Structure formats: structure tokens, C-alpha cells
Structure 1
Amino acid sequence: MSTIKDVAALAGVSFTTVSHVLNDTRPVSADARRRVLAAVEEIGYLPSAVARSLRKSETKIIGVLVPNVQNPFFAELVCGVEECCRLAGYSVFLCNSDNDPKRQQQYMRTLLEKRIDGLLLASAGDAASLAKIFKLASVPAVTVDRLVPGARADRVSVHNQAGAHAAVAHLLELGHRHIGCISGPAEFEVAIERVEGWRQALLERGITPQEGWLVESDFSSAGGYEAVRALLRKHPEITAVFAGNDMMAMGGLRAAAELGRKVPEQLSIVGFDDIELSSFVYPALTTVGCSIKELGREAARVLLDRIDNPGAPLKDVLLTPRLVVRESSAARA
């Protein structure tokens, strides 16, 4: 492996001159700069990122921790984060906790040990353990759609309750009165807020949600499939379903087909998030959400701003989701 001294020897300059050219720390003549850059190109010299990070106290690396990379929501989110960070000269280290609290803690520690310049956390659960790690770390941080008690971190989130309310209000306007809800795990803040939006919309129309209309699931398509099957078998009066995310709603489309409930003629289904895939399933899914990539870009912008301005007041950015009406919802027959 070539070294800075090899570059200096080939260029006919001192290794300190090479350092000044590569790090732009002192003016160097145009001729010397040209010879140094030519030598770097010829021998394929790569500066030590470790040495640079120790010298400048920065690594130009952003750590991103998500709970499930198989979920298209997080894949789209990370694409937005990476795009913004790349344009700002940062690389992204992505860690997938696979919904395992212990693995999440391990990755948090690993990222912090790698001296990342900032942390973007898009995860759920185990808030107490995360809070302990945050207290030990002074790294700038942003959380997506969640609060970590006691952590000094900015937050970028979607207005989950308003989005769920808009989805259910849409179904109510179509004449549905028996509207079930498939929620994510009850310990997740996102799931709680979306259930509250469902309940609030019904109560405002004078409809009391019946016991059994709410079924808890796990934000997966398989979970949504099982939950909608159970809901429709126990409560055949249900004519519409609000699912806490698009993945569960897609599972619900399959369950409805197997049970002989045509969508949307006999059953309307509405999701949440507006992932890209939701417009390509059949029937195309009615949903609520913001641009997920833009959510990722906004979270990255807030984090980069925190890195540049560590003493600025904390931000709590709230994005308002919009209703996207497609083929899976229709007026009650």
C-alpha cells in the first residue's frame, strides 16, 4: 500500500507539502499542486480516513439505525437520508436491528465507538435502554417518528394522528360506519397515535368503536393478513378497514380476496405511509402519507444542521400527511 512519502518522492516535494495539498491546510504553488495530484493518481494513494478523523475530530460519517430494512418504508427513508448526506460530503453507515432491542443497543454502541459525526435513529421500542446510551453520548442526533426520554436530540416526524384521522374521515364520507383498525404493536408511539386518530374520527361522527374492531399486529404484510382474516371472521359487519401502515393493508387485500370480500365493492381498505409499492398492488391502495424520501432528506438536513450548530435550540419538525385516494376505497354498497 502506497504512503504519503511515496507520493512525495514521485512528485519531488516534501511529505508536508503533500499533506498541505491533500488537506488544503496551506497555500501551495500551482506547479507543486499539479505534481502532487498527478502522483496521487499514478500510484493510487488513498489518504487515511482514521488519521484525518483524529486530526480534524470528524469522520464525515453519519450512522443510521433502522428496525427493519425489509420494510419498504425504511428503505425509502434511507435513500432520502443517503442522498442528502452524500451531497453534503458525508457517508452513511446503515445498521438494521431487525426489531431486536439487544441488537439495537449493540449497534448504537458500535456506531458511537466508530466516532460517527451524527446519529439518525429510526427505530422503535426499548426507549429506556436507548435513553441510557444517549446520556453517555454527545454526538448530534435526530430521531424519526419517536421520542427518546431524556435524550438531547432533534425529531422529525409525521403527524400520525392527523393522518389516521384523515384516512378514517375519508371512509366515513363514503358512508362506512363499521370501520375496523389494524394497529402496530401497542408499545410503539407511532401505533398509539394512529389508533387515536382512528378512534377520534369515529367518535366525532357519534360512532363508538366496538370491542373487537381494533386488532393489534406487527406492521408486516403477514401480520396484516392474519389480522384482517381474524377481524372479518369475527365481525362480518365490518365494511372498511384502516391499517396502521401500507404493509399491513396489503396483507389485508390478500385476506379479503381469500374470504370472498371484493375490494372495494364489499370492503374498503386504507393504509398509512404511501410507500411506492402501494400504487402498484391491485387494487391500488388508498393511503395517507408524506413523501418518505423527503422525510429522510428532511431528517438528514436537520442532523447536518445540528452538526454545524451544536448549540442551537432543539427542533421538532412535524410533517402533515396527505390523503391519496386510489382504488381500494369506495362508497358503501
Structure 2
Amino acid sequence: MATIKDVALRAGVSVTTVSHVVNGTRHVSPDGRERVEQAIRALGYVPSAVARSLKRNTTHTLGMITPNSSNPYFAEIVRAAEDRCFGAGYTLILCNTDDEPRRQSMVLQVLAQRRIDGLIVVSSGDDAGLPALLAGLEMPTVLLDREIDTLPCDLVETAHMNGALLATRHLATLGHRRIACIGGPRGLVPSEQRIAGWRLALAEIGAGSGHTPEPEADELLWHGDFTSESGYACMHALLRHTPRPSAVFVANDLMALGALCAAHECGVDVPGDISVVGFDDIELARFSSPPLTTVAQPKQRIAALAVDMLLERIEGRRADPRKVVLQPELRVRASSGAAR
């Protein structure tokens, strides 16, 4: 492999001159620059990214931490973030935490050792030590999807409660009154906000009919963990409930796909016997059977904003923390229909 010394020898210049041409750190005469560039092409010389980063104190590398890279929602976010990074001349290093706080802490330390320029974080579960750990890294950080109240850094997320309101109100307009909810994990902010939106919509239904809905909302609430398996199990439990709800809002699309599978196994028609609405609008939602009505998060815009906000901080164009909350939209498909 050619070295910088080989390039200098072939071009008939000093190693310092080659360095200035490669790094653009000082003016080099057109003749000298041409000889160096010809030598680089002839020898196939590749400058050391590590050496250049040490000299410039930047690596043009960003880190991103997600709780579960097998979840299509996060996979689509990561893909969009990678595209945005590539367009800006940055490389993205992705780390998966499997929603384990201990693993999250270890991943953060590894990324810091790799001298990344900034970090995008989708936090894992209930990690009380995360704010102090992120603050100790002293690098630009953007939180995505999951807010941390005690950490003064940038945030971009969807209005989760509003999305759940859209979903449950849609079911109400179709005539449904017993609307169940398969929520996500307890204590996880997006999950709690989506459940809160469902509760608020139930209260609206009760107020509109002049009485409090029966039974109480808690009797219509099941908790999953945002996986298809948990949605499948919760739907089986829901279908055994008496009297059976006529509709269910599911707090993410993966659980909704599991719920559709459970309904099919039980011979329950969707939407004839029970309507199902999800949340996220992952690509698979259009290809389920039936195609899933769901709340669409603006994933491309979320990812692009997260990268752009991070680059603003890295490049010194902004110092104050910024919070951006994007509004979701309802995508009506065949899994929701009029109540019988």
C-alpha cells in the first residue's frame, strides 16, 4: 500500500507539500499540486482518515443509537438518516441497544472512543443514568422520538398523543364505542402518550353521548412491548374478553400485524367483526391482509431534521437547544370499517 512518502518521492516534493494538497491546509503552486495529484492517482494512494481527523479535530462521522434495529420503523428512520448524512459528506455509525439500558451505556462509551462528531439517540426504556452519561460526553446530541426532560439538547419527535386521538376518533366516526387499546411498554414516553390520546378520545365519546363510557378504559387496555409477538398475544386475550370490543387501536404497526394474525387464527373477520388501527405506517402496513389503517409518522422528515439539527450544532450555526414536534396523519385502509 502506497504511503505519503511514496507520493512525495514520485512527485518530487516534500511530505509536507503532499499533506497540504491532501488536507487543503495551505496554498500549493498549480504545478506542485498537479504533480502530487498525478502521483496519488498513479500509486492509488488513500489518505489515512484517522490521521486527517486528528489533524482537523473532526471525523465527519456521526453516531446513531436505536433500541431495536429489527423494528421496521427504526430501520426506515435509519435508512433516511444515512441518506441525509451521505449527502452532507458524513458517515453514520449505527448501534442497536435491544432496549437494554446497560448495553446503551456501553455503546455510548464505544462511540465516544471513536471520536464521532455528533450523536442521534433513540433512548432505551427507563435508563435513569442516561442524562448524566450524555451530558458527560460533551458532544452535540439530538434525541429522536423519545424525550428526556432533564437533558437540554435538541429533540425531534411526532405528536404521539395527537396520533392516537386521530386513530380513535376515526373509529368513533365509524360508529364504534367499545374501542380497546393494545399499548406499548409501561413507562415509555411515546407509549404512555399514545395511550393518553386513546383515553382522551374515549372521554370525548362519553361526553358526546351524555354518559361515561362503560366499561372503564382500564378494562379495555392491554400492554405489549412493540413486537409482533406481543400484539398477537394481546389480541388473543382481547378476543376472549366479554363483551368483545368492536375495534382496537394498536400503539404500533408491528403489534397490529400480530393482532391481525391472531384475529385470522380465531376466525374473526377484520374489519367485519373487529376494526384495527395501527401507528407508524411502516412499509409492510400496506401489504398486510387486510391492508392496515394506521397513523403515519413522517419518518423521512424526522430523520432529515435530526441530521440537519445535529450538523447545525457541529458547525456552530446554532447553540440553543431546539425542539421540533411533527404532526402525524391518518392513512385509512381496509382494516377499519363501520361498526355492526
Do both share a fold (TM > 0.5)?
yes
CA distance in 1, matches of 2:217, 2:137: 46
Q: Give the drift of 1:99.
A: 1.6
Residue of structure 2 equivalent to 1:291: 298
User: CA–CA distance in 1 between the matches of 2:62 and 2:108?
Assistant: 12
Who is 1:139 aligned against? 139
Mapping of residues 162-177 of structure 1, within 5 Å: 162-177=162-177
**2:278 corresponding residue in structure 1:** 271
Task: Compute the displacement of 1:281 (Å).
Answer: 1.2
* Structure 2 alignment gaps of length 5 or more: 207-212
Q: Cα distance 1:332–1:314, how it changes in 2: closer, same or farther (>3 A)? A: same
Partner of 1:39: 39
How many Å apart are 1:311 and its aligned residue? Answer: 5.3
Residue 73 (structure 1) shift: 0.5
Unaligned segments of structure 1, at least 5 residues: none
Counterpart contact for 2:125–2:188, Cα < 8 Å: yes
Which residue of structure 2 aligns with residue 322 of structure 1?
Answer: 329
Letter in 2 for 1:143: L
Contact preservation (8 Å) 1:275, 1:292: no
Query: CA shift at 1:236, angstroms?
Result: 4.2
Shift of the alpha carbon at 1:47? 1.4
Distance across 1 between alignment mates of 2:110 and 2:188 = 24
Residue 260 of structure 1: how far off its partner (Å): 1.4
Instruction: Give the TM-score taking structure 2 as reference length.
Output: 0.95
Which residue of structure 2 aligns with residue 78 of structure 1?
78
SS of 1:288's equivalent? strand
Matches within 5 A, 1:2-81: 2-81=2-81
CA distance in 1, matches of 2:31, 2:240: 80
Kindly provide the amino acid, as one letter, of the partner of residue 21 in structure 1.
Answer: V
**197-206 vs 149-158, greater mean Cα deviation:** 149-158
Deviation (angstroms), 1:278: 0.6
- AA partner of residue 313 (structure 2): R
Q: Distance in 2 between matches of 1:329 and 1:129?
A: 42
Question: What does residue range 120-269 of structure 1 map to in structure 2 within 5 Å?
Answer: 120-206=120-206, 207=213, 209-269=216-276
Is the alpha carbon distance of 1:64 and 1:235 closer, same or farther for their aligned partners in structure 2, counting shifts above 3 Å? farther
Is the contact made by 2:199 and 2:217 (CA closer than 8 Å) also made in structure 1? no
Counterpart of 1:95 in structure 2: which amino acid? C
| Alignment-mate amino acid for residue 201 of structure 1 | A
The 2-side partners of 1:152 and 1:54 are apart by 29
Q: CA deviation at 1:243?
A: 0.4
Q: Report SS of the residue matched to 2:219.
A: coil
1:257 Cα deviation after fit: 0.8
Assess, with a 3 A threshold, how the Cα gap between structure 1 residues 298 and 304 changes in structure 2: closer, same or farther. same
Question: 2: CA distance between counterparts of 1:83 and 1:66?
Answer: 17
* % identity of equivalent residues: 46
Number of aligned pairs?
333
Work out whether residues 128 and 149 of structure 1, in 8 Å CA contact, stay in contact via their aligned partners in 2: no
CA RMSD of aligned residues (A): 1.4
Deviates more, 1:105-114 or 1:167-176: 105-114
| Distance in 2 separating the partners of 1:154 and 1:237 | 43
Maintained 8 Å contact 2:100/2:124: no
The letter of the residue matching 2:43 is I
The Cα offsets for residues 1-56 of structure 1, whole Å up to 9 and x where unpaired, read as: 32111111111211111111111112222232222122212222221222212211
SS of the residue corresponding to residue 241 of structure 1 reads strand
Cα offsets for 1:223-266 (capped at 9, x unmatched)? 10001111111244201010000000010100111111101111
Structure 1 residues 118 and 30, CA gap change in structure 2 (3 angstroms): same
Contact 1:243 1:271 in 2 (8 A): yes
Contact 2:126-2:188 at 8 Å conserved across structures? no
- What are the within-5 Å matches in structure 2 for residues 103-118 of structure 1? 103-118=103-118
TM-score (norm 1): 0.96
Equivalents in 1 of 2:7, 2:310: separation in Å? 36
Deviation (angstroms), 1:149: 4.1
